[in-house]
């Protein structure tokens, strides 16, 4: 009996060893294939002519920034470049957006996304290609995102006959507070995709470093405005008025207690009032005051609860001071944006590609922040992953934070982004094409 057990043990051990060895060999072969492909894409993207072209696109867009759903010039540039490459696309998508397709035209479908819009900021960086439009600036790197995705278009188009599926390139309008991703989804142009990948420039990491994390990576975010209606009067006779300024400032103070007194200290939430408008002179109590801000959480429940409490606090504080309040959460945009959740499997895939292409030391963990992204709407519909590519270079002073009027990037990150987009897409189609055909 013992000899039979021993024989069985040896047989099972041998089977497991052979299976593990086969798997290990297949894994190494796959890594070698992906590595060769990724390095080839990166080498091509770093060639002087390619780099000059993609950098030129970024600079053209940077000089003429456009706000959400007004990206007509940017959209035209994108379409002209796609036309010159012979790449088919759908336009308009959500007013100014463009969605291009490269590959077999069949399953699986993998999407790459770049946002297009700028911010209402006056650029304070003094350089040759600074914004030519007063009060508007690409201070969040969306000009770079478009350039990197067009770079990926060129790299992928060169391999179009070898793609084991279809890559959709999503040039999305209106990310900065306009929920452009939601409106793109509403058109149905992405109904057939299996997964989506996004890449954002990030000045906290050195140029060429890639970073991300599985699970929640950015907060869900909403906006609110409140109008306090009182009764105007002379400052010398406040008892005859209903002081809207007092009601508004009381509400602003009490709103801070939603996080400090009502929220579990181990749970991340934010309530910030960003503006207050009321009154025009020293000795008049104004009829109305308006204020507004943002609320954020890393959970859907947290967003819902915070939104409810904001409404209750403002209305009750107004009532305490015998005023009335109207609170608007701008739900038609729609708001709030959901939490940005990276799919674990797609994260692992893009992480592995990044490590193979750039080295394990250049793939780092992205800290969770309370910033927000409308990419979150995609994460609710499909397996999705948002990664960042570092642009910090102290010699160029490209360490200023996103949304700063002094924001600047190291353009050496552009070919890295283009190559990473392409490598993640190609390897995804290679690994998923068999099961879908």
Q: What is the mean pLDDT of residues 14-42?
A: 63
pLDDT at 10: 39
With bands split at pLDDT 50, 70 and 90, how would you rate the model's confidence at 34? confident
Pick 2 or 192 by higher pLDDT: 192
Residue 27: pLDDT over 80 = no
Beta bridge partners of 8: none
Fill in the DSSP letter of residue 382.
S
pLDDT of 293-325, one tens digit each?
A: 999 999 999 999 999 999 999 999 999 999 999
267-296 residue pLDDT tens:
999 999 999 999 999 999 999 999 999 999
- 359 sits in the region (left: phi over 0; alpha: psi -120 to 50; else beta) called left
Whole-angstrom distance, CA of residue 25 vs CA of residue 48: 37
Residue 55 has pLDDT above 70, yes or no: yes
**Contact predicate 192/391, CB 8 Å:** no
Task: Look up the pTM and report it.
Answer: 0.89
pLDDT mean across residues, the chain: 93
Task: Name the burial class of residue 286, with classes exposed (0-12), middle (13-18) and buried (19+) by CB atoms within 10 angstroms of its CB.
Answer: buried
Q: Are 78 and 171 in contact (CB under 8 A)?
A: yes
**According to the per-residue pLDDT averaged within each range, which of 1-10, 49-58, 329-338 is highest?**
49-58
Task: Report pLDDT digits (tens) over 62-84.
Answer: 999 999 999 999 999 999 999 99
**Average pLDDT rounded to a whole number, residues 397-413:** 97
Three-state DSSP at 172 gives strand
Q: Which two tokens stand for residue 301?
A: 């429940």
Average pLDDT over residues 193-201: 98
Mean pLDDT of 41-57: 98
**What's the pLDDT score for residue 4?**
53
Q: CB of 224 within 8 A of CB of 313?
A: no
pLDDT of 418 over the 50 cut: yes
The candidate with the shortest Cα–Cα distance to 166, out of 80, 230, 121, 102, is: 102
With contact defined as beta carbons under 8 Å apart, do 327 and 247 qualify? no
Q: What is the pLDDT of residue 238?
A: 96
pLDDT of residue 29: 46
Could you tell me the strand order of the sheet in which 166-172 lies? Answer: 88-93, 97-103, 166-172, 109-115, 195-206, 384-392, 210-212, 363-365
Is the pLDDT at 422 greater than 80, yes or no?
yes
Output the six-digit token pair for 386.
Answer: 């948002």
Residue 134 has pLDDT above 90, yes or no: yes
Whether 25 has a pLDDT exceeding 80, the answer reads no
Does residue 171 carry a pLDDT above 90?
Answer: yes
Q: Is the pLDDT of residue 35 over 60?
A: yes
Tens of pLDDT, residues 334-349: 999 999 999 999 999 9
Query: Residue 19 above 50 pLDDT?
Result: no
pLDDT of 14 over the 60 cut: no
- Tell me: the pLDDT tens digits for 149-160? 999 999 999 999
Give the pLDDT confidence of 82-95 residue by residue, as tens digits.
999 999 999 999 99
CA dist list (Å): 378 to 58, 141, 194, 312: 25, 20, 11, 31
Q: pLDDT per residue over 111-122, tens digit each?
A: 999 999 999 999
pLDDT at 271: 98
End-to-end CA distance of the chain: 48
């Amino acid at each position: 009996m013992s000899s039979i057990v021993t024989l069985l043990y040896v047989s099972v051990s041998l089977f497991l060893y052979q299976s593990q060895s086969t798997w290990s060999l297949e894994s190494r072969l796959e890594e070698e294939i992906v590595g060769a492909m990724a390095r080839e894409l990166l080498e091509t993207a770093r060639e002087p002519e390619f780099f000059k072209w993609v950098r030129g696109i970024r600079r053209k867009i940077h000089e003429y920034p456009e706000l959400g759903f007004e990206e007509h010039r940017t959209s035209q540039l994108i379409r002209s470049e796609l036309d010159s490459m012979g790449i088919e696309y759908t336009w308009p998508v959500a007013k100014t957006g463009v969605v291009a397709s490269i590959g077999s035209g069949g399953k699986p479908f993998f999407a790459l996304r770049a946002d297009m819009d700028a911010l209402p900021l006056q650029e304070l960086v003094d350089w040759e290609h600074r914004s030519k439009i007063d009060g508007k600036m690409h201070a969040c790197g969306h000009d770079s995102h478009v350039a990197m995705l067009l770079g990926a278009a060129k790299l992928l188009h060169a391999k179009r006959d070898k793609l084991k599926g279809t890559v959709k390139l999503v040039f999305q309008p209106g990310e900065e507070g306009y929920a452009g991703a939601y409106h793109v989804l509403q058109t149905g142009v992405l109904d057939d995709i299996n997964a989506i990948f996004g890449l954002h420039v990030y000045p906290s990491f050195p140029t060429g470093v890639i970073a991300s994390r599985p699970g929640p990576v950015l907060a869900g975010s909403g906006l609110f405005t409140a109008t306090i209606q009182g009764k105007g009067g002379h400052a010398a006779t406040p008892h005859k008025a209903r002081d809207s300024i007092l009601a508004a400032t009381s509400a602003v103070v009490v709103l801070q207690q939603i996080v400090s007194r009502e929220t579990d200290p181990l749970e991340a939430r934010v309530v910030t009032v960003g503006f207050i408008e009321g009154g025009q002179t020293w000795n008049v109590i104004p009829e109305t005051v308006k204020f507004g801000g943002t609320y954020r959480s890393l959970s859907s429940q947290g967003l819902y609860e915070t939104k409810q409490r904001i409404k209750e606090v403002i209305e009750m504080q107004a009532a305490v001071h015998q005023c009335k309040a109207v609170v608007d959460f701008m739900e038609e945009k729609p708001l709030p944006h959901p939490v940005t959740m990276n799919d674990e499997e797609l994260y692992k895939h893009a992480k592995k590609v990044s490590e193979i292409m750039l080295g394990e030391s250049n793939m780092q963990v992205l800290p969770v922040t309370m910033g927000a992204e409308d990419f979150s709407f995609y994460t609710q519909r499909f397996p999705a992953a948002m990664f960042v590519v570092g642009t910090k270079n102290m010699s160029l002073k490209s360490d200023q934070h996103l949304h700063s009027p002094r924001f600047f990037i190291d353009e050496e990150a552009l070919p890295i982004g283009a190559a990473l987009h392409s490598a993640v897409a190609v390897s995804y189609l290679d690994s998923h094409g068999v099961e879908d055909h």
